[in-house]
Structure 1
Amino acid sequence: MKKLGFLKSLVLALALSAGFTSCIEAYEEPEVDRFAVLTTYLSQNNLDLNNMSTDWVIDAAGLNTAGVSNFYIIDLRSAADFATGHIQGAVNSTLQNVITAAAGANGKQIVLACYTGQNAAVGLVALRLSGYRTCKILKWGMSGWNTKFDSWTANISDRALQSPNWSATNTIAQPVNFAYPKLAATENTAEAILQERVAYMLSKGLQGVNAADVLAAPATFFINNYWTEADVNQYGHIKGAYRLNETLTIANEGLKKLDPQATVVVYCWTGQTSALVSSYLNVLGYNAKSIKFGANAMLNSQLLKNKWTASGNFPYVTN
């Protein structure tokens, strides 16, 4: 009897042990919602989208008047183009290395220069999200500094005026709510996720699309006109476009209006603001692109503001 009782106890113990083991094996750590972790951190630390575009531009005349020696100018053009001429005191860097280059500022305000201002806008997002909250871009890039570096004039156009996919009246699409994107990252803490996503965004560089391609097939994209309503009323818009501007922030839950499954195409006046917006969205997990050269590539002759006209004539050095 004692032996039988012992065997029963042993069988019961083994059964309980197997049950506990199966419970342990069945338990899985809940998946981290990295989008929520990151966006909560950004909103709470004044790193929302609207914080990227606050006091973020200086034009060539303003930079020259303020004195170039008072700024730490990072030139993002190729080494070969930098050698043909650059602003006195500027340092050359790739876009991918801009955060490392910024460490040399030694307290000076950073100004990012590139060919047209669009790559600089990408770099600005990376820097502002990495602690350099007062950095600026040189408006129009080096094209605005001197005619020697003009990359703008050849890219202006009135192609939208002849396009059947440009609406001259305000028939802007009404926004609806979407789910948030699933953020691809390996890290779990907000700061680490942000660093990982900024590095990813920089590795991709400026995500630009030609105005002609969007005008040819606007239904292929989720198009966001980043203008005021008054500007849409005055100039019109690409057919099928939404207008998400003032409320396109984390705090306002404006990101719900973007389709995470679509290619989000943002356009503005010059391609500089839309490069900023699309880069920020790419950090958050959207597939976002910017119409290069903005409205200047679609209806330049009609514009009454933010219109490319001509380069400045400010000095440059070659050493």
Structure 2
Amino acid sequence: MKSRAFVSLTCLTLAVVLAGCEATTPPPEAKDQFETVRKAFDDYLSSDPAAATTAATVFDSLNDGDDTTTPYVISARSPEHYALGHVPGAVNIPWRTVANVGALDDLPTDQPIIVYCYTGHTGAVATAVINAMGHEAVNMKYGMCAWTRDADIRAASPFNEETSSDFPTVTDVPDEMTYDLPTMDVTDSTDDGEIVRAAAEAYLSGDESPIIAAEDLFDLLNDGDETNDPFIISVRAPEAYALGHIEGAINIPWKTIAQEANLKRIPTDRDIVVYCYTGHTGGLATTVLNVLGYNAKNMKFGMVAWTKDADIRATSAFDDAVDSNDFATEP
């Protein structure tokens, strides 16, 4: 009897000890989700990525007979426009779905990845997200407008010099302030990759356009209502910014947009407009900001849509006679 009582007491003591151990085991440490996503984008941008690649370069890579350089091509256009015609061999992953669970499961790790859209803008959105999620992708400059001259297949109008604006620019640098960083809570997961994916999906699942026309920005800045003026960021090089910029714009070169010090220069309670040269790097930078929790739009076609001054533009605008091709497509 004493033996049984001793065994029972021992078991009870062990159970209490184990229960105590379980009760004191600390839960997994919560991740700073904003910092996780910020670092993913900064790692991508600090790797010195290409701003974009040309349609001619993509065509050559697909047709040079060297399978080791053949890119994996993604059409980020809608399924309807993909069906009208696409780059031969391209798979269709609409840009708003690139962060959906499983959307990138079939992406190769041993091939270059090319993304294209209509004019280069939403292709930049998809490209930024794909890179933040651990792949290496490059956006095709000017999108399908550079691949084909078929207006039906393009399904969008390219930049037109005749309808571009000639709005004023300045060279003075505005005073700046320092702001708090956004906070983020998009998932219960502590996995870095899932946090980045969930943050991107949270942004992409919305329905706001990622772009704003130069004319619409000009109207906002000149309607006499300062309360709706957006905060403007030029993501061009400092030298290009110094040549002339939109009044009030601060300068954060696009490859540095995810650096913490630069993010602290951006308010979280105002609409933001980002612009670059032709819309491509502006699209990359805008995507970084939106996924991080800011409310940003990319100025369509960049500075070439704002001014006709070739020196201030600091790059050539899309010219259908020069920049477009008539490469084959497949349905």
Q: Give the TM-score, by structure 1 length.
A: 0.77
The SS at the match of 1:259 is coil
The SS at the match of 2:319 is coil
Aligned residue in 2 for 1:283: 291
| Counterpart AA for 2:86 | H
Residue 40 to residue 251, structure 1, CA distance change in 2 (3 Å): farther
Q: Cα deviation per residue 1:105-127 (whole Å; 9 max; x = unaligned)? A: 33322111100111111111221
Q: Are the counterparts in 2 of residues 49 and 250 from structure 1 also a CA contact under 8 Å?
A: no
Matched, 1:72 2:67: no
The SS at the match of 1:257 is coil
Superposition RMSD in Å? 2.9
Partners of 1:246 and 1:84 in 2: how far apart? 33
Q: Give the TM-score, by structure 2 length.
A: 0.75
Partners of 2:47 and 2:125 in 1: how far apart? 11
Work out the percentage of aligned pairs sharing the same amino acid: 25
Where structure 1 has 5 or more consecutive residues not aligned to the other structure, the ranges are: 1-28
Partners of 2:211 and 2:230 in 1: how far apart? 13
> How far is 1:41 from its partner?
6.4
> How far is 1:279 from its partner?
0.9
Aligned residue in 2 for 1:54: 49
> How far is 1:313 from its partner?
2.0
Matched positions, count: 280
Aligned residue in 2 for 1:210: 213
Q: Cα deviation per residue 1:246-288 (whole Å; 9 max; x = unaligned)? A: 7844545211000111111101111221111111111111111
Where structure 2 has 5 or more consecutive residues not aligned to the other structure, the ranges are: 1-26
Aligned residue in 2 for 1:173: 174
> How far is 1:188 from its partner?
5.8
Q: Are the counterparts in 2 of residues 38 and 194 from structure 1 also a CA contact under 8 Å?
A: no
Matched, 1:225 2:237: no
| Counterpart AA for 1:253 | A
Matched, 1:293 2:301: yes
Q: Are the counterparts in 1 of residues 159 and 317 from structure 2 also a CA contact under 8 Å?
A: no
Aligned residue in 2 for 1:98: 98
Aligned residue in 1 for 2:158: 152
The one of 108, 111, 116 aligned to 1:113: 116
The SS at the match of 2:250 is coil
Aligned residue in 2 for 1:198: 200
Q: Are the counterparts in 1 of residues 33 and 185 from structure 2 also a CA contact under 8 Å?
A: no
Matched, 1:185 2:198: no
Moved more, 221-230 or 49-58: 49-58
Residue 282 to residue 155, structure 1, CA distance change in 2 (3 Å): farther
> How far is 1:190 from its partner?
5.7
